[in-house]
Amino acid sequence: MNMTTDEKARLIELRDKLIGAGCDLPQEGSATRHEATRTWNGARVCKPALVARCGTALQVAAALRAARDVGLPVSVHNGGQDWAGRSLRDGSLVIDLSGMVALSIDSERREATIGGGVTAGQLNKAAGEQGLTAAISNDGAVGMAGLILGGGYGPLMTRIGLACDNLISAEVVLADGEVLICDADSNADLFWAVRGGGGNFGVLTSARVRLHELGPVLAGTIVFPWADVRAALGRFADLMLRAPLELSGAAVLAVGPGGKPVAVISLIWTGDRARGEAIIAGLEAAGTPLLAKVEPMPASELLALTNGKLPQGHGYEVATRWLGTLSPKVTDVMVSAFEARTSPLASIIIHHCHGAVTNIAPDATAFGMREPHFTALIYAAWMPAVGEAGPHRRWARELSNDLAPAALPGGYANLLPDDAAGQIAHAFGGNASRLSSLKTRFDPMGRLRAIPLPSAGVRHGR
- Shortest approach of ligand FAD to residue 249 CB, angstroms? 14
Q: Which residue is nearest to ligand FAD (CB)?
A: 146
Q: Assess 310 for contact with ligand FAD (CB under 6 A).
A: yes
Q: Assess 197 for contact with ligand FAD (CB under 6 A).
A: no
Q: Assess 220 for contact with ligand FAD (CB under 6 A).
A: no
Element (H, E) at 453: none
Q: What is the 3-state secondary structure (H, E, C) of 171-185?
A: EEECCCCCEEEEECC
DSSP H stretches of helix in 173-272:
188-194, 229-241
- Shortest approach of ligand FAD to residue 310 CB, angstroms? 4
Q: Assess 142 for contact with ligand FAD (CB under 6 A).
A: yes
Q: Is the Cβ of residue 151 or residue 261 nearer to ligand FAD in the bound state?
A: 151
Phi, psi of 208 (to 5 degrees): -105, 130
- List 26, 115, 128, 152, residue binding ligand FAD (CB under 6 A): 152
Q: Choose one: 17-25, 71-79, 274-282, 422-430; the region binding ligand FAD (CB under 6 A).
A: 71-79
Q: Assess 79 for contact with ligand FAD (CB under 6 A).
A: yes
Rounded distance, CA 277 to CA 346, Å? 31
398: which residues sit within 8 A by CB, 6+ positions away? 337
- List 37, 138, 423, 431, residue binding ligand FAD (CB under 6 A): 138
CA 361-275-225 angle, to 5 degrees, is 90
Q: Choose one: 3-11, 61-69, 101-109, 145-153; the region binding ligand FAD (CB under 6 A).
A: 145-153
Q: Assess 59 for contact with ligand FAD (CB under 6 A).
A: no
- Shortest approach of ligand FAD to residue 8 CB, angstroms? 26
Q: Is the Cβ of residue 335 or residue 369 nearer to ligand FAD in the bound state?
A: 369
Q: Taking a C-beta distance cutoff of 8 angstroms, is the pair 225, 231 a contact?
A: no
Rounded distance, CA 19 to CA 29, Å? 19
Q: Assess 36 for contact with ligand FAD (CB under 6 A).
A: no
Rounded distance, CA 136 to CA 302, Å? 10
Rounded distance, CA 267 to CA 270, Å? 10
Reported in sequence order, the residue ranges of 298-372 that DSSP labels E, i.e. its strands, are 315-323, 347-353
Q: Assess 60 for contact with ligand FAD (CB under 6 A).
A: no
Q: Assess 411 for contact with ligand FAD (CB under 6 A).
A: no
Rounded distance, CA 425 to CA 462, Å? 8
Q: Is the Cβ of residue 128 or residue 196 nearer to ligand FAD in the bound state?
A: 196
Q: Assess 95 for contact with ligand FAD (CB under 6 A).
A: no
- How do the residues of the chain divide into helix, strand and coil, expressed in percent and rounded to 5? 35, 25, 45
Q: Assess 356 for contact with ligand FAD (CB under 6 A).
A: no
Neighbour tally for 33: CB within 10 Å: 17
Q: Assess 114 for contact with ligand FAD (CB under 6 A).
A: no
Q: Count of residues for the chain? A: 462
| Number of residues binding to ligand FAD, judged by CB under 6 A | 35
Name the 3-class secondary structure at 74.
Answer: strand
Q: Which residues make up the interface to ligand FAD (CB under 6 A)?
A: 40, 75-83, 86-87, 97, 116, 137-139, 142-143, 145-147, 149-154, 199, 203-204, 310, 414-415, 450
